[in-house]
Amino acid sequence: MKLRLSPEDAAFRDEMREFFTTKIPQHIRDTVAARHELSKEQIVESVQVMNAAGLAVPNWPVEWGGKDWTPLQRHLWHEEMQLAAVPPPLAFNASMIGPVIAAFGSQEMKEKFLPATANLDIWWSQGFSEPDAGSDLASLRTSAVRDGDHYVVNGQKTWTTLGQYGDWIFTLVRTDPEAKKQAGISMLLIDMTTPGLTVRPIELIDGGHEVNEVFFEDVRVPAENLVGEENKGWTYAKFLLGNERVGVAPVGSTKRTLAQAKTANAERIAADPVLAARVASLENELLSLELTALRVVAHSADGKPHPASSVLKLKGTELQQAVTELVVDLAGPLSLASGAGDGSEVPDWARVATPQYLNYRKASIYGGSNEVQRQIIAKTILGL
Amino acid sequence: MDFTLDSETTALRDAVRGLLSKAYDSSETRREVTTTDPGFGEKTWTRLAELGVLGLPFAEQDGGFGAGPVEVGVVAAEIGRVIAPEPVIEAITAGGIVADLGSAEQRADVIGRLAEGTLILGLALHEIGEPVTATQDGDAWTLTGTKEPVLHGARADLLVVTAQTDAGLGVFLVDPSADVERTGYRTHDGGRAARVTFQGASAQPLGEPGDASQRALDQAIARARIAYGHEAVGAMETALRTTTEYLKTRKQFGVTLNTFQALTFRAADMYVSVELAKSAVEWATLVLADDPDRAVEAAERVRVQVGKASRHVGQEAIQLHGGIGMTAEYSVGHYTSRLTAIDHWLGTGDELLASLAGQVTTYGTLDPLPE
Ligand SMILES: Cc1cc2nc3c(=O)[nH]c(=O)nc-3n(C[C@H](O)[C@H](O)[C@H](O)COP(=O)(O)OP(=O)(O)OC[C@H]3O[C@@H](n4cnc5c(N)ncnc54)[C@H](O)[C@@H]3O)c2cc1C
């Protein structure tokens, strides 16, 4: 057992720190640090800078631009990125559909999509959830019926994050209505400009436009856009959702937000023992979470998600939310001034505090809700 | 960075586990041992010494085995798994002070006997009223005053005692067979403690009173807090395992209790608490091995995390068992009692959170890895 990073890993960490703090345009990092919304252009620019340096999709197979990194190196890459206020590569591309195509797609599909997916030349959306299929995703009803060289898709997806920017959407569709739930599902890649596909915005409680509904009316999709085999979609979806859980413990960004809150309120915190104890307690929990992540990394062989990664999702999002809550409390009455404009003396961090707090209630709902994570812990780890 | 045990440490763990799971093969055996004085198994103590456990962290020239905090932690976790009542952590903590402050002669004598298992070494820290004072007359020192509670104070063959001197805090070795009055009693967790009154008892100083003594004591307490953290994690793991087994077998309403998600979710939350506490303890152990200057802070962080987890897991373990969890015959209640004892010995999490809170504005992010 030893704590210190090996000289190679320490050098790796320094290299990542250097890259993220000097090569990603400052306006992007400032936007993230200020907890403001990134524009589509900023997200694309950030990914393209990373991709040019070969750092956008390290989790992919090497032949498609991935890196032969150890789990620890991947962890350090992810932490340093968050600490430097760099937005992580778009998850729909880098963590979700990219690895699925690389693992299960045909050679043609890989060549067509993977380079463009890594470079965010194609913006992917995730079309899994439906109005009646949330946690119980396998009850989805959107149908795809084979018609010659095409599938004809009908139905509705919802909660589609940033679907307004989407070029393509990867969907789970029902191809065999007779089979039992999981068995009749396929994964289909759909060009979002295809006639019959419409995207409608959903406004969220923070006033932002982050998610959408996507409607499919006789959308004709070339059969070559089927991933892998027909009716095997559930297998691919499980692979994808497993990967989703791994990257989801936002330790570095939560630490950074907490540090910023301390800086902006240092005198008050130093003078108020109750507040200081709350900060100390959050820091201690975050430290324990970070170490749990390191333990999971150290014990995760063959790149499969470690069962304890559910702990990371569950606790990671709880702490992320607890820090957003602390910031609202620090802002106090100023937290109501979310709409303040020029000429207001309310500091920016206090203006964004409540919209961020409200927005991050999502963290315990998506990526497998925290109840679903408890279910996984109870069943797969505790055998209950 | 590496969180895996090497093969020697794994062998040590397996040997200690083998010994202790035989000695405490059931909750009933532990109850029998703790009912009669001295509250632990003298034979088990000897066997632990034979495995090298009691001399683990001490230098070989002093009679120890030259191991470190990782090995001590592994042993402490095994003690926690069966909540073995042998005062191993207490003796090693007291021995650590002798190792840090004592002369070569004192070290060879005390640590040699401790490692052989022929000496029960106690540590007298707490006072209820006036502090114990040490008075010097030529080369001779005497102690006056009362320490209470002193863990295993009535059985101890030799005591390491803190006392006030004109030059600040002093640490002394006292043979309790002369001019010391001792009244022993049971503690709620099956252990033993005593009221120990020094009536001008003759004492051997360990090093010089003052700052160096205070620093050695702070380090010793940090090491003890981390070792108790391992014991608590071992105990919590058993309490959780016992609870999940019970949920799978106990039937109500015609079904086993694990059918009820209200209960399985609470077990999942217990697991989260245990894992976070374990991470904090493993981290602090490595800090102790690698970066001792940070050990006091790391130990405070352990107390905070382990204290919170101990209460959560201890309380829920009883609750999810229902009535049987309340009985002295069944195991989980004893685990909760032991976790409560650990939590209140050497500072609760809340007390140490107050100490950490005083520092939060002096740094930005908290980084667990040494630079
Ligand atoms: C901001 C945001 C962005 C999202 N982005 C996307 C996206 O891009 N693409 C996409 O496909 N989906 C997306 N989702 C959808 C997300 O995956 C679902 O919201 C999630 O799966 C939960 O489904 P639901 O909302 O229907 O809630 P439900 O499943 O109806 O759950 C309601 C409540 O019941 C609990 N619950 C459900 N089942 C159980 C059970 N068996 N045991 C105990 N408790 C249970 C849930 O945890 C929750 O608390 C997004 C969601 C949000 C909020």
Percent of chain A whose pLDDT exceeds 70:
97
The closest of A303, A81, A106, A127 to A114, measured between CA atoms, is A106
Specify whether the CB–CB gap between A262 and A306 falls below 8 A: no
Closest alpha carbon within chain B to A266: B361
Angle B261-290/A309-331 helices, nearest 10 degrees?
90
Ligand 1 pocket mutation pick from A124, A130, A159, A377 by most atoms within 8 angstroms of CB: A159
Q: Is A371 a catalytic residue?
A: no
Angular region, B369: left φ>0, alpha ψ -120 to 50, beta rest? beta
Angular region, A357: left φ>0, alpha ψ -120 to 50, beta rest? alpha
Considering only CB atoms, A280 lies closest to which of B70, B356, B365, namely B356
- Residue ranges of the domains in chain B? 7-119, 122-209, 213-358
User: Residues A266, A226: one domain?
Assistant: no
Percent of chain A whose pLDDT exceeds 90:
90
- Within 248-267 of B, beta carbons closer than 8 Å to A belong to 248, 258, 261, 264-265, 267
The pLDDT value given to residue A161: 98
Per the domain annotation, does A37 fall within a domain? yes
ipTM at complex level: 0.94
Q: Considering the domain B7-119 in this protein, what is its CATH number?
A: 1.10.540.10
User: Residues A267, A342: one domain?
Assistant: yes
Q: Determine which helix (DSSP H) or strand (DSSP E) holds A45, and give its type and residue range.
A: helix A40-52
Q: What is the DSSP string of A191-253?
A: ETTSTTEEEEEEE-TTS-EEEEEEEEEEEEEEGGGB-SSTT-HHHHHHHHHHHHHHTT--HHH
The pLDDT value given to residue A317: 96
A129 in contact with ligand 1, CB cutoff 6 A: yes
The pLDDT value given to residue A301: 57
The CA-CA-CA angle for residues A231, A149, A112, to 5°, reads 80
For residue A125, what are the β-bridge partners? A169
Return d(Cα B132, Cα B124) in angstroms, integer: 10
The closest of B23, B120, B5 to B73, measured between CA atoms, is B5
The closest of A115, A128, A184, A134 to A157, measured between CA atoms, is A128
Range with the poorest average pLDDT among A166-170, A307-311, B122-126, B187-191: A307-311
Here the CATH number for the domain that contains residue A286 is 1.20.140.10
Radius of gyration of chain B (CA): 21
Tell me, rounded to whole angstroms, the distance of Cα A283 from its chain centroid.
23
Specify whether the CB–CB gap between B120 and B2 falls below 8 A: no
Radius of gyration of chain A (CA): 22
User: Residues A37, A129: one domain?
Assistant: no
Return d(Cα B91, Cα B19) in angstroms, integer: 19
Specify whether the CB–CB gap between B279 and B229 falls below 8 A: no
User: Residues A219, A269: one domain?
Assistant: no
pLDDT of A1 above 90? no
pLDDT of A302 above 60? no
φ and ψ at residue B209, rounded to 5 degrees: -60, 155
User: Residues A54, A22: one domain?
Assistant: yes
Based on the number of CB atoms within 10 Å of its own CB, is A68 exposed (0-12), middle (13-18) or buried (19 or more)? exposed
- Residue A246's pLDDT band (boundaries 50, 70, 90)? low
- Within 135-164 of B, beta carbons closer than 8 Å to A belong to none
For each of chain B's 371 residues, which pLDDT tens digit applies? 788 899 999 999 999 999 999 999 999 999 999 999 999 999 999 999 999 999 999 999 999 999 999 999 999 999 999 999 999 999 999 999 999 999 999 999 999 999 999 999 999 999 999 999 999 999 999 999 999 999 999 999 999 999 999 999 999 999 999 999 999 999 999 999 999 999 999 999 999 999 999 999 999 999 999 999 999 999 999 999 999 999 999 999 999 999 999 999 999 999 999 999 999 999 999 999 998 899 999 999 999 999 999 999 999 999 999 999 999 999 999 999 999 999 999 999 999 999 999 999 999 999 998 77
- Within 61-80 of B, beta carbons closer than 8 Å to A belong to 70
Residue that the structure tokens 């380079």 belong to: A115
The pLDDT value given to residue A303: 56
Q: Determine which helix (DSSP H) or strand (DSSP E) holds A296, and give its type and residue range.
A: helix A273-299
Tokens coding A59: 């989790």
- Residue A245's pLDDT band (boundaries 50, 70, 90)? low
Residue that the structure tokens 């990371």 belong to: A312
**Residue ending a domain, choose from A89, A109, A136:** A89
Residues ≥6 apart with Cβ < 8 Å to A78: A88, A247, A252
The pLDDT value given to residue B244: 98
For the segment(s) B213-358, the CATH number from 1.20.140.10, 2.30.140.10, 1.10.10.10, 3.30.960.10 is 1.20.140.10
To the nearest whole angstrom, how far is the Cα of A355 from the nearest Cα of chain B? 24
Provide the residue range defining the domain that includes A43: 7-89
CA–centroid distance, A339 to ligand 1, in Å, is 29
User: Residues A137, A213: one domain?
Assistant: yes
Catalytic residue among A244, A285, A318, A345: A244
A369 in contact with ligand 1, CB cutoff 6 A: yes
Return d(Cα B66, Cα B61) in angstroms, integer: 9
Return d(Cα A154, Cα A173) in angstroms, integer: 9
Return d(Cα A367, Cα A243) in angstroms, integer: 10
Per the domain annotation, does A223 fall within a domain? yes
Specify whether the CB–CB gap between B282 and B3 falls below 8 A: yes
Per the domain annotation, does A131 fall within a domain? yes
Based on the number of CB atoms within 10 Å of its own CB, is B125 exposed (0-12), middle (13-18) or buried (19 or more)? buried
Return d(Cα B52, Cα B48) in angstroms, integer: 7
Residues ≥6 apart with Cβ < 8 Å to A25: A45, A46, A49
Here the CATH number for the domain that contains residue A129 is 2.40.110.10
Length of chain B: 371
User: Residues A85, A180: one domain?
Assistant: no
Q: Considering the domain B122-209 in this protein, what is its CATH number?
A: 2.40.110.10
User: Residues A226, A266: one domain?
Assistant: no
Per the domain annotation, does A20 fall within a domain? yes
Tokens coding A221: 């999709």
Based on the number of CB atoms within 10 Å of its own CB, is A371 exposed (0-12), middle (13-18) or buried (19 or more)? middle
Return d(Cα A19, Cα B209) in angstroms, integer: 52
- Inter-chain touch A315–B272, beta carbons under 8 Å: yes
Q: What is the DSSP string of B197-215?
A: EEEEEEEEE-S-SSHHHHH
Q: What is the DSSP string of B123-177?
A: EE---SSSPPEEEEETTEEEEEEEEEEEETTTT-SEEEEEEEETTEEEEEEE-TT
The pLDDT value given to residue A95: 94
Classify the C-alpha dihedral B350-B356-B357-B360 as positive or negative: negative
To the nearest whole angstrom, how far is the Cα of A148 from the nearest Cα of chain B? 47
- Inter-chain touch A284–B370, beta carbons under 8 Å: no
Q: What is the pLDDT of residues A326-375, one digit of tens each?
A: 999 999 999 999 999 999 999 999 999 999 999 999 999 998 999 999 99
Beta strand A124-127 with A168-174 is: parallel
pLDDT of A138 above 60? yes
Specify whether the CB–CB gap between B77 and B233 falls below 8 A: yes
Mean pLDDT over the full length of chain A = 95
Per the domain annotation, does A107 fall within a domain? no
User: Residues A221, A249: one domain?
Assistant: no
Q: Determine which helix (DSSP H) or strand (DSSP E) holds A124, and give its type and residue range.
A: strand A124-127
Per the domain annotation, does A149 fall within a domain? yes
φ and ψ at residue B60, rounded to 5 degrees: -65, -35
A371 in contact with ligand 1, CB cutoff 6 A: yes
Q: Determine which helix (DSSP H) or strand (DSSP E) holds B181, and give its type and residue range.
A: strand B180-186
Count: domains in chain A: 3
pLDDT of A306 above 90? no
The pLDDT value given to residue A74: 92
Residue that the structure tokens 């077998």 belong to: B249
Residue that the structure tokens 């799971």 belong to: B21
Per the domain annotation, does A66 fall within a domain? yes
Helical spans, DSSP H, in chain B: 7-23, 27-35, 42-50, 69-82, 88-101, 104-116, 211-249, 261-290, 295-321, 332-344, 349-357
Closest alpha carbon within chain B to A5: B1
The pLDDT value given to residue A247: 59
CA–centroid distance, A383 to ligand 1, in Å, is 24
**Residue ending a domain, choose from A182, A207, A230:** A230
Residue A331, helix vs strand vs coil: helix
Closest alpha carbon within chain A to B360: A280
CA–centroid distance, A288 to ligand 1, in Å, is 27
Cβ neighbours of B354 in A, within 8 Å: 273, 277
Specify whether the CB–CB gap between B303 and B348 falls below 8 A: yes
Cβ neighbours of A72 in B, within 8 Å: 1
Specify whether the CB–CB gap between A278 and A326 falls below 8 A: yes
User: Residues A133, A176: one domain?
Assistant: yes
The pLDDT value given to residue A244: 62
Considering only CB atoms, B4 lies closest to which of A1, A285, A315, namely A1
The pLDDT value given to residue B3: 85
- Residue A297's pLDDT band (boundaries 50, 70, 90)? confident
